[in-house]
Amino acid sequence: MEFENDIVIHPRRSKKEHTIPETGLFLVNPSEARYGLEAAEAHGARRQKFYNSNLFVNEEQKFFVAGPAIGAPFAVLTMEKLIALGATRVFLFGWCGSMSDSLSIGDLLLPTSAQSGEGTSAYYVSGSQPPPSSKLVESLRHTLKARDLPWSEGCVWSTDAPYREKRSSLKKLNEEYGVLAVDMEHSALCSVAFFRKIQFAAMLLVSDEVWGKNWKPGFTKQEFKARSRMLIDIFIEKFPR
């Protein structure tokens, strides 16, 4: 408590801001956020004033869609505001780079643990890195199983510097720590969710492969874009319970 009293700025809801439903979808990637927000609006959601990103709220079906917010600092800043407005169950949909030959472009990954290579988590937690909510991970399993969509599970490492990833470091993370993929936000969002005592989990789509001799991107391919947006539609049409 004494430490918290030393914090300068605390996230809060201003008098002019409306509360939001407890459950929502967080889309960090700009192109996917644009698509998801438009899809949410088509299903009856309405734009709500939001501090540093975009927010659509469906009052009837009780869900929100927010984004973009790429990178750990921006994603955490945005999620802090969502929590201040009333979010308690946040699902992330994003992309990741495969660090294992067991994951190919277009595969689905449900992170069950996190490793931090970003600089934000340390300001929220000390010691071991918090995992995502097991309850929300299970709800994602149920959703994917109901739609006969295969997936993998494992650890995701998050970095602030995708242009400074070293082959040797990625290989070590995979071989010694069992890390399957890399993204930019997951570990930090796990940390803030743990700190704020809310539930958070992610579903990541493999957009590129970083485990081989050469980087293999797939996010510009039409089949990848179609699959990504199909998954967003699943969330919009019926949120995991």
CA–CA dist 189, 195 (Å, integer): 10
pLDDT band at 11; cut points 50, 70, 90: very high
Q: Is 179 within 8 Å of 112 (Cβ atoms)? A: no
CA–CA dist 90, 139 (Å, integer): 12
pLDDT in tens, 154-179: 999 999 999 999 999 999 999 999 99
pLDDT band at 207; cut points 50, 70, 90: very high
CA–CA dist 39, 18 (Å, integer): 22
Q: What is the pLDDT of residue 3?
A: 67
User: Of 122, 120, 55, 116, which is closest to residue 90 (Cα–Cα)?
Assistant: 55
pTM value surpassing 0.85:
yes
Q: What is the pLDDT of residue 5?
A: 84
Q: Kindly report the average pLDDT of the chain as a whole number.
A: 95
Q: Which residue has the higher pLDDT, 145 or 52?
A: 145
Beta strands in the chain (DSSP E): 23-27, 46-47, 54-58, 63-67, 89-98, 108-117, 152-159, 179-183, 199-209, 216-217
Q: What is the pLDDT of residue 1?
A: 53
pLDDT in tens, 69-124: 999 999 999 999 999 999 999 999 999 999 999 999 999 999 999 999 999 999 99
Residue with the two structure tokens 């990178």 = 71
Q: Is the pLDDT of residue 241 over 60?
A: no
- Annotated domain spans of the chain: 19-237
In degrees rounded to 5, what are phi and psi of residue 13?
-95, 125
Q: Provide the terminal-to-terminal Cα distance of the chain, rounded to the nearest Å.
A: 34
Task: Using a pLDDT cut of 90, give the percent of the chain over it.
Answer: 93
At residue 35, the 3 state secondary structure works out as: helix
CA–CA dist 216, 162 (Å, integer): 14
Q: Is 99 within 8 Å of 180 (Cβ atoms)? A: yes
Please tell us whether the domain made up of 19-237 is placed in CATH 3.40.50.300: no
If you average pLDDT over residues 213-235, what whole number do you get? 96
- DSSP-assigned letter for residue 124: T
CA–CA dist 227, 23 (Å, integer): 23
Residue with the two structure tokens 């996010």 = 219
Q: What is the pLDDT of residue 22?
A: 97
* Residue 227, H or E segment: helix 222-237
b/e per residue 209-228 (b: at least 16 CB within 10 A): bbbeeeeeebbeeeebbebb
If you average pLDDT over residues 20-42, what whole number do you get? 97
- DSSP-assigned letter for residue 168: H
If you average pLDDT over residues 204-233, what whole number do you get? 96
Q: Is the pLDDT of residue 8 over 60?
A: yes
Q: What is the pLDDT of residue 2?
A: 58
